[in-house]
């Protein structure tokens, strides 16, 4: 019986929640989504690799206008985790350009997203100041 489910299949929920990527077995290019072949080298075999849980803020935007149903403002971010770029919101920080600094250290954290009709809790992720 599953009582928790991850927002995306590349988020692993265990004692130390972390992200995993599909890594090309030939050229080591990394992807978070399912791929038919490697866009860099055409190889079709991949292995699973864990992504470091800490990284630096590579770039961001504070999104103030979004489609209906998306809470704003939120800090959209790209984080460099040991050389792999990861997309994810910056959380547990004021959505204020004075607070969010490029190059700042951040770490992965989980974000509760609520339960479905069967009581299964959904869990997302974000990055918070380290």
Rule CB under 5 A: which residues touch Zn ion?
A: 24, 26-27, 29, 38, 40-41, 43
The only residue of 58, 93, 104, 110 in contact with another protein, by rule CB under 8 A:
58
Among Zn ion, another protein, none, the one that 32 touches (CB under a kind-dependent 5 to 8 A) is another protein
Q: How many CA atoms lie within 13 A of 116 on its CB side?
A: 10
- Token reading at 82: 């040991």
Give the count of residues interacting with another protein (CB under 8 A). 51
Q: Is 70 in the site for another protein (CB under 8 A)?
A: yes
DSSP-assigned states of every residue in 37-84: S-TTT----EEEEEEPSEEEEEEEEEE---STT--SSEEEEEEEETTE
If one asks whether residue 77 binds another protein (CB under 8 A), the answer comes out as yes
Under a CB-based contact definition with an 8 Å cutoff, are residues 21 and 51 in contact?
yes
Q: By rule CB under 8 A, what string of x and - marks binding of each residue 86-125 to another protein?
A: xxxx-------x----xx-------x-x--xxx-x-x-xx
- Mark 58-82 as b/e (b = at least 16 C-beta within 10 Å): bebebeeeeeeeeeeebbebebbbe
Binding track over 8-47 against another protein, x by CB under 8 A: xxx------------------xxxxxx----xx-------
In the three-class reduction of DSSP (H, G, I as helix; E, B as strand; rest coil), residue 18 is classed as strand
Quote the tokens at residue 30: 């990394």
Residue 3 site contact among another protein, Zn ion, none (CB < 5 to 8 Å, cut-off depends on kind) = none
Q: Which residues bind another protein (CB under 8 A)?
A: 5-10, 29-34, 39-40, 58-72, 74, 76-78, 84-89, 97, 102-103, 111, 113, 116-118, 120, 122, 124-125
């Amino acid at each position: 019986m599953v009582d928790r489910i991850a927002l995306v299949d590349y988020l692993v929920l265990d004692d130390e929640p972390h992200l995993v990527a599909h890594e090309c077995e030939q050229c080591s290019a990394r992807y978070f989504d399912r791929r038919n072949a490697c866009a860099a080298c055409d190889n079709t075999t991949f292995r699973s690799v864990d992504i470091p849980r800490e990284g630096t803020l590579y770039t961001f935007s504070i999104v103030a206008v979004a489609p209906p149903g998306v809470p704003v403002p939120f800090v959209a971010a790209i984080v460099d985790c040991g050389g792999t770029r990861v997309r994810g919101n910056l959380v547990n920080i004021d959505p204020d350009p004075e607070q969010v600094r490029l190059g700042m250290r951040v770490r992965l954290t989980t974000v509760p997203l609520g339960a479905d009709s069967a009581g299964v809790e959904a869990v997302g992720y974000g990055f918070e100041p380290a």
